[in-house]
Chain A
Amino acid sequence: MIAVQGVPLVDFLLLGALLFCVGLFAALRRSNAIMILMGIEVMLNAVNINLVAFSRYLPRGGDRGQAFAVFVLAVAAAEAAVGLAMVIIVSRRRGTIEIEEISDMRG
């Protein structure tokens, strides 16, 4: 049985912080709308690491951290579906998904 004895909580928090910053870097660096959504997904995953780690280490966390992680998963799935649908319709209408070229709002 794998267990997590021997890894302090702060290590998980630091890993979550590092992954969040990597996702932020991806979202800020890319100019392609799909890539930006992928960076946001990485950031949401980093948040989930923190939530699950809190639920396993803190006595008052209990089941709530994991319940919140489930909600984050649901919202991330909804965000991916709608965001990528928007990317597809923008690429149909404009022929590009580079955000530098999608700067005016009226279709």
Chain B
Amino acid sequence: MNWPMVAFVVLGGITVYSGWRVATAPLVTHAALFLAVTFAGVGGLFFLLQADFLAAVQLLLYAGAVMTVVIFAIMLSEMKDIEEPRPRGWLGALRSPSLGALPFIGAVLLFAVMLVVYLRGAPALPVTPLPAPTNSTVFIAGALFKIYALPFEVASVLLLAAMIGAIILTRVEGGRRR
């Protein structure tokens, strides 16, 4: 029995199904919970790929921090109705789930293109992975602090700018609630 393949199919199935539910769940809160399952599934795939550090970061950052921010945004944005609204206009009708299938056709076409490209190139791709690094944190740090030291610093500046921007954008002026 090919246990890694079984684990891959189970994890991939959970991930893709919950991703599908993110697109189709009628309530925003349900979509957010399925998004958390998608993040956890991707973290499991990282574990399967023996990228331990990234799997831990995925669970902490995505399933923890980003999900918290998303749920706070859902609670703080004053949505009158969290159900999907009725489509309006011809564009709304074309992309609404009940009438139009334009997003679905677009996504399926893109997947078909990628499927053809990957299956044509499949014989040239390796089947077995490289031997796993003994310590994936040391493994990544070697790249981050040697070759990619400058992009690493730029990413930290980006995160600082994003933090300040988010604070300034959502600040309530004069301590008065608008």
Contacts and interface: CB of A to CB of B under 8 A. Distances in A.
Interface of A: 2-15, 17-26, 28-32, 34-35, 37-39, 41-42, 45, 48-49, 52-53, 55-59, 62-64, 66-67, 69-71, 73-82, 84-92, 95-98, 100
Contacts, number: 268
Interface of B: 2-5, 7-8, 12, 15-16, 19-20, 22-24, 28, 31-32, 35, 38-39, 42, 45-51, 53-54, 57-58, 61-62, 65-66, 69-70, 72-74, 76-80, 84-85, 88-89, 92, 95, 97, 102-104, 106-108, 110-111, 114-115, 118-119, 121-122, 125-130, 132-133, 136, 139-140, 142-144, 147-148, 151-152, 155-156, 158-159, 161-163, 165-166, 169-170, 178
Main secondary structure of the interface of B (DSSP, over half): helix
Contacts of A67: 140, 143-144, 147-148
Given A3-B4, A8-B126, A95-B78, 13 more contacts: A2-B48, A6-B3, A28-B103, A39-B22, A39-B23, A49-B45, A59-B130, A69-B54, A71-B151, A73-B61, A79-B162, A84-B70, A97-B77
